[in-house]
Amino acid sequence: MSKKKIKPPIKATKKEAIAKATYKVGKGVIRINSRLLELTSPPALRSFIQEPLEIAGGAADGMNIDIHIQGGGQMSQAVVARACIAKAIVEHTKD
C-alpha cells in the first residue's frame, strides 16, 4: 500500500496578515477564505491579486487554489494572497 506524499501548505506573511494556501489540479477556481476571487472587492484589489495569474498565462490554468488568511488589513491580506498564488504557480510548474 503506497502512501501519498502530502504537500505542506504554502505560507506567506505581511505585517500581521498570515496566509496558508493549498493547490491541486482542477478547474482553475481560486478561493480566498472560502469565497471566490471574482467576488473580492474593490476591483482594484482583485486585479492586484490576479497579477500572478496574468503573468503566468496558461501555466496556471487548471489549478484550484484555496487560500486562508488571518489578521492584517485589507491591503496586507491582498499582498499575502497574491504571494500565495505566485508561490503555488511556481511550485506547480516547477519553474
30-89 per-position pLDDT tens digit: 999 999 999 998 999 999 999 999 999 888 888 999 999 999 999 999 999 999 999 999
More confident residue, 1 or 67: 67
Are the beta carbons of 32 and 67 closer than 8 angstroms?
Answer: yes
| Residue 46, pLDDT score | 94
